[in-house]
Amino acid sequence: MILRINQVPVEFTLESERTFADLTASLRAWAAAQDQVVAGILADGKALGPDDQTPLDALGELEVETVAADESDLARIDVVERYFSLVAQGCQNRDAALLSELHKEFGAMRPALFPLLSAVATRLGPALAVFDSPWSDPASLETAARQMAREAGSLQRERRQPLAALAETLDNLETSLAAADAVAGLFQKGLDRDGLDLILRLFTDFEDLARRAALAGQSTGSDLTGWVEFNAELQPLLGDAGEALGSGDFILLTDLLEYEIAPRLRSARSLFPEAANLDRVGPVL
Q: How far is 198 from 176, CA to CA, in rounded Å?
A: 7
Which of 125, 157, 189 marks a domain boundary?
A: 157
The tally of domains found in the chain comes to 3
Residues 171 and 257 in one domain: yes
> Which contiguous run of DSSP H or E holds residue 64?
strand 61-68
Structure confidence at residue 47 (pLDDT): 82
Do residues 148 and 124 make contact, with C-beta atoms less than 8 angstroms apart?
Answer: yes
Q: How far is 285 from 280, CA to CA, in rounded Å?
A: 15
Length of the chain: 285
Residues 237 and 222 in one domain: yes
Whether omega before 115 lies within 30 degrees of 0, making that bond cis, reads yes
The gap from C-alpha 79 to its chain's centroid, in whole angstroms, comes to 11
Range of the domain at 245: 162-275
For the whole model, what pTM was predicted? 0.77
Structure confidence at residue 278 (pLDDT): 60
Q: How far is 247 from 257, CA to CA, in rounded Å?
A: 16
Kindly state whether residue 49 falls inside one of the protein's structural domains.
yes
Structure confidence at residue 75 (pLDDT): 86
Q: How far apart are the first and last CA of the chain?
A: 37
Residues 191 and 268 in one domain: yes
Structure confidence at residue 279 (pLDDT): 58
Residues 6+ away with beta carbon under 8 Å from 177: 202, 262, 265, 266
Structure confidence at residue 23 (pLDDT): 93
Residues paired with residue 43 on neighbouring β-strands, in sequence order: 46, 62
Residues paired with residue 68 on neighbouring β-strands, in sequence order: 36
pLDDT in tens, 223-248: 899 999 999 999 999 999 999 999 99
Below-50 pLDDT ranges, the chain: 283-285
Kindly state whether residue 284 falls inside one of the protein's structural domains.
no
Structure confidence at residue 238 (pLDDT): 95
Which of 138, 157, 176 marks a domain boundary?
A: 157
Q: How far is 64 from 198, CA to CA, in rounded Å?
A: 44
Structure confidence at residue 181 (pLDDT): 93
Do residues 204 and 150 make contact, with C-beta atoms less than 8 angstroms apart?
Answer: no
Q: How far is 216 from 169, CA to CA, in rounded Å?
A: 12
Kindly state whether residue 282 falls inside one of the protein's structural domains.
no
